[in-house]
Amino acid sequence: MQKDLFLFTPPFTQLNTPYPATAYIKGFLNTKNIDSYQMDLGIEVILELFSSIGMRKVFEDARDKNSILSDNSQRIYALKDHYIRPLDNIISFLQGHNDTFARQICTDNFLPQASRFDQIDDLEWAFGNMGIQDKAKHLATLYLEDLSDFIVDCVDDHFGFSRYAERLGMSANSFDELYEELQQPLSYIDEITVSILEKKLQETQPKLVVMSIPFPGNLYSGLRSCQFIKKHFPKTKIAMGGGFPNTELRSLKDARVFEFVDFICLDDGELPLELVADYVLHHPLKPLQDLELKRTFILENEQVTYKNNSKKGDYKQLQVGTPDYADLLLDQYISVIEVANPMHSLWSDGRWNKLTMAHGCYWGKCTFCDISLDYISLYEPIAATILVDRMEQLIAQTGEQGFHFVDEAAPPALMRAVALEILKRELTVTWWTNIRFEKNFTQDLCHLLKASGCIAVSGGLEVASDRLLKLIDKGVTVEQVAQVTRSFTAAGIMVHTYLMYGYPTQTIQETVDSLEMTRQLFQLGVIQSGFWHQFALTAHSPVGMNTQDYGITPHLKEISFANNDVQFTDSTGIDHSIFSDGLKKSLFNFMHGIGFDMSLQEWFDFEIPQTTITPYYIEDCLNTDSFRSIKSNSKVIYLGNLPLIGRFSKTKKGKEVPYLDLVFHDKSSSFQIELPEDQGNWLLDHLELWQPGHKLTTFSQIKTSYESQFETLEPFWYSEEMEILRENGLLVL
C-alpha cells in the first residue's frame, strides 16, 4: 500500500468526527493525481488507550503511586475491575453498536461512579423517561471522564479528550518549554501514538508526511510524532500546516523547530503543498535556495527563511475538489454527550461531513477577529450547485447525510441558494452552520432553511451592548439579534449564541446589562443555547494591531515561536475574570429554563450594580413592527402540497358565482381556503410554478400575470386567504 504522501492529524481533536483538514487536502490531491493516505491519529490512540487492555496497563502503571493519589483517583483505582470490565462494550455502544446496551447502562449501580457523577441530579429533567439512548451516552461519557481524570492524575497530566499538552502550545512566544518537554522520555500516551504511527508508516512508505495542526492542543503530540519520524524514517520529509501555524507561527524565528519538520506552510494549503510535493517527489536533489515555494518556512543556511517566490496564484474554491474521507475509520468514532445541552451535543454526538460554503468571511470587520489573515479576509463563495454536488458525493462515500458547514459566517444569499438546490433535488439531509444575526434572515428565509434540513445555527451576540457592538463593528444591534433569533426559533431552528465579556473599555455596568439582555432572550425562548467567553486579544485583529484606539496597553514579548494571544492591561482597570463563574452559572440555569426570576445579584458572590435594562426591553424589541413592503425582485417559493379541489357556488347579487374549495394537507394538519373559480385557477397554476425545481418567479412577474386577468394584485395578495397560505409554506425571499 505504498503512497507518495501520508496525511495525519495528531492527537487530539474531536471524538465523534474527524477534523476535516486532511480530507480537504486529500480531495485536492485527487485533482492532481497525487497518491495519498490519511489518518486521524487521535481517534486511533483513544481507541487503544480506552480499551480493556490499554486501561489495564494504565492501572498497572499507577499501582506504585497509590500512596500519593487523590481521594478521587484512589476510589477509581479501588474500583478498577469495575471500570475495566464494561469498557470495550461501552466504547462499542458509543460507536453506534449494540443499542440495547443503553438500558443496562441506565440501570442503577451498573457503572462505577467517581466525581464526574456528582452532576447527574438533573437526568430526569434532561432526558425524561424515554430518552434512554441519550441518557446512556451521557452516563457513559461521565464514566470515560472519570477514567480521563485518573489518567491526568496518575499517568499523564497533559491528557485531555480533545487536546493534549495544550498549555505548552498556547501563547508560547518561546519554543524553550516545549522543546525541553520534547527531550523527556516518551509518556505512555506518546508510546501508543508512535507505535500506531510506525505501523502505518511501514505500510505506506511515504516520501512526504503532511501534518495538520489545527489547535495548540495538537502541537506537542504532532512534534513528538515528527521527532519519531525523523529518528526512524530519516529520508522522509515532513510538512506542517493548519490553523495553529496559520495564526501563531507567522513570526517564527527559532531554528530548532526544523529539527522536527522540513516545511511549514501558511494559509490555504493547496498550492503551498503542491509545490512542496513537487520538490520532494520529483526534484529532491534541487538546492533549497532554488525552490519555488508559496508561503512556506524552511531552514536555509541554519536560518528560518520565509519563501513566497512562486508566481502561481492560489486555487479557486471551484478547483480544490470534494473532501475525501477515504482511509479514515468513519465507523469507529465515538459519540459522547458531555452536558445535557442540545447545541453542545452537535459538537460531540454523531458524525458530520464537514464542508465550507464560502472561503473567508463576507463581513470581515469584527475588531476582535483575525480579519487581517487570509482565512478570513479572502472571501470567496462557492456556487450552490457545486456545493450540493459535493454533498451528494460525500453522502455516497460516507453514508452519512449530516453536514456541518464550518464557515466563519455563512452568507444568507448562498444559504438560500443551497436550500433551494437541496429542495430541488429532493435530498433528505441535516445541516447546521455559523452565521451573523443579520436582518436578511427573515422569517420566510428561516422557514426555507428549515425545510431544506437546517436544524441549528450559531452566531455571535458577543457583548449584548449596542455601544460595544458598534465598537466591535459587528454590524448588528441587540434588537436585530432578538428579531432574527425569533425568526429562526419560530421556524424550528435551534439558536446558539456566543457571548463575550471583558471587551476593551467594557464597564461593570455593561457586563451586568449584558447579562440581563441574555436573561430576557432565554426567558422569551428566542435563544436556546449559549456560551460565555472572556475577550482574548490576538495579534492579528484590529484591536491587537491598534491597541491605542481601544484603551489597552499590550504586554509585548520577544517573539521567536508562537504569536497570537497577547496579554494586556485595560485602561478601566477592571478584573473581568471575577465575572466568569457568575455568568456561566446563570447561563447554565437559563439554558435549563430556570432562574429567570432570580435577582442578577444572586449569581455573584460580590456586589454588582442594578441593571439599567428595563424588564421588558427584549419583548419590546420583538413587538416592533417589522413589516416590509415586498420588493419587485423578491422571489416567491411555495413549499406546501397542492390542494384537493372541490367546487361549489355562492349567490351574489342574485347571480350564481362558481367557487373553488381548496383543501391543503401538510404533515400534521390541514386547512382550506375558498376563492372565486377564476382566481382559484390562477392560484393553482402558479402554486405549481412556485414550487422548488421550477425557475424562480419574482413578485414583479406575479404582479404582471395577475393584473393581466384581474385588477390590482395587492388586495388579493394581502387577503385573508393568501395570509393563510403565507403561514403555510408560501414564502417571499
DSSP string over 518-575? HHHHHHTTS--EEEEEE---BTTSHHHH-GGGGTEEE-----SS---B--EEETT---
Query: Cell match 535556495: residue?
Result: 289
Residue 340: predicted pLDDT: 62
DSSP string over 311-357? -PPPPPGGGS-----TTS-GGG------SS-HHHHHHHSS--EEE-S
Residue 705 has, within 13 A of its CA and on its CB side, a CA count of: 14
Give 429's DSSP letter. -
Model confidence at 704, in pLDDT bands (50, 70, 90)?
A: very high
Residue range 108-151, pLDDT digits in tens = 889 898 888 876 555 555 555 547 888 899 899 999 999 999 99
348 and 336 in contact (C-beta within 8 Å)? yes
508 and 574 in contact (C-beta within 8 Å)? yes
CA dist 729 and 691 (Å) reads 10
Share above pLDDT 70 across residues of the chain, in percent, rounded to a whole number: 96
Model confidence at 171, in pLDDT bands (50, 70, 90)?
A: low
Share above pLDDT 90 across residues of the chain, in percent, rounded to a whole number: 70
DSSP string over 655-678? EEEEEEEEEEE-SS-EEEEEEEHH
Q: Give the helix/strand (H/E) hosting 696.
A: none
Residue type, 200: K
Model confidence at 555, in pLDDT bands (50, 70, 90)?
A: confident
CA dist 630 and 536 (Å) reads 42
CA dist 254 and 261 (Å) reads 12
Count Cβ atoms below 10 Å from residue 23 Cβ, excluding itself.
27
Residue 625 burial by Cβ neighbours in a 10 Å radius (0-12, 13-18, 19+): exposed
Which residues, other chains included, contact 345 with Cβ-Cβ below 8 Å and sequence gap of 6+?
A: 134, 337
Which residue from 459, 411, 458 is spatially nearest to 432, judged by alpha carbons? 458
Model confidence at 560, in pLDDT bands (50, 70, 90)?
A: confident
CA dist 155 and 145 (Å) reads 14
CA dist 438 and 435 (Å) reads 8
Angle of helix 188-204 versus helix 216-232 axis, rounded to 10: 60
H runs (alpha helix) in 380-477: 384-398, 412-424, 443-452, 466-472
CA dist 193 and 617 (Å) reads 54
Q: Give the helix/strand (H/E) hosting 295.
A: none
Average pLDDT over residues 25-39: 97
Model confidence at 629, in pLDDT bands (50, 70, 90)?
A: confident
Residue range 291-319, pLDDT digits in tens = 899 999 999 999 999 999 999 999 999 99
Domains, in order of start, for the chain: 5-42+164-319 (3.40.50), 48-159 (no CATH), 352-623 (3.80.30), 635-732 (no CATH)
Model confidence at 161, in pLDDT bands (50, 70, 90)?
A: confident
CA dist 468 and 477 (Å) reads 10
Distances (CA, A) of 488 to 226, 423, 442, 494: 46, 19, 8, 7
Residue range 505-524, pLDDT digits in tens = 999 999 999 999 999 999 99
**How many residues are recorded in the chain?**
733
Cis amide bond preceding 12, omega within 30: yes
CA dist 26 and 7 (Å) reads 8
Average pLDDT over residues 162-189: 83
Average pLDDT over residues 406-417: 93
Burial 503-537 (b: 16+ CB within 10 A, else e): bbebeeebbbbbbbbbbbbbbbebbbbbbbeebbb
Distances (CA, A) of 386 to 203, 390, 395, 417: 35, 6, 14, 11
Is the predicted pLDDT of residue 627 greater than 80, yes or no? Answer: no
Average pLDDT over residues 696-711: 92
Is the predicted pLDDT of residue 67 greater than 70, yes or no? Answer: no
Count Cβ atoms below 10 Å from residue 715 Cβ, excluding itself.
10
Query: Cell match 452519512: residue?
Result: 400
Query: CA-based diameter of the chain, in Å?
Result: 102
Evaluate the CA torsion angle 538, 170, 38, 428 in order and state its sign: negative
Q: What angle do CA 608, 609, 612 make, to 5 degrees?
A: 140
Average pLDDT over residues 226-232: 97
Residue 615: predicted pLDDT: 94
Where is average pLDDT lowest: 3-7, 345-349, 472-476? Answer: 345-349
SS3 140: helix
Residue 341: predicted pLDDT: 67
Report the chain's mean pLDDT, rounded to a whole number: 91
Residue 166: predicted pLDDT: 66
CA dist 354 and 454 (Å) reads 14
Q: What is the pTM for the complete model shown?
A: 0.91
Is the predicted pLDDT of residue 717 greater than 70, yes or no? Answer: yes
Residue 644: predicted pLDDT: 94
Is the predicted pLDDT of residue 654 greater than 80, yes or no? Answer: no
Is the predicted pLDDT of residue 374 greater than 90, yes or no? Answer: no
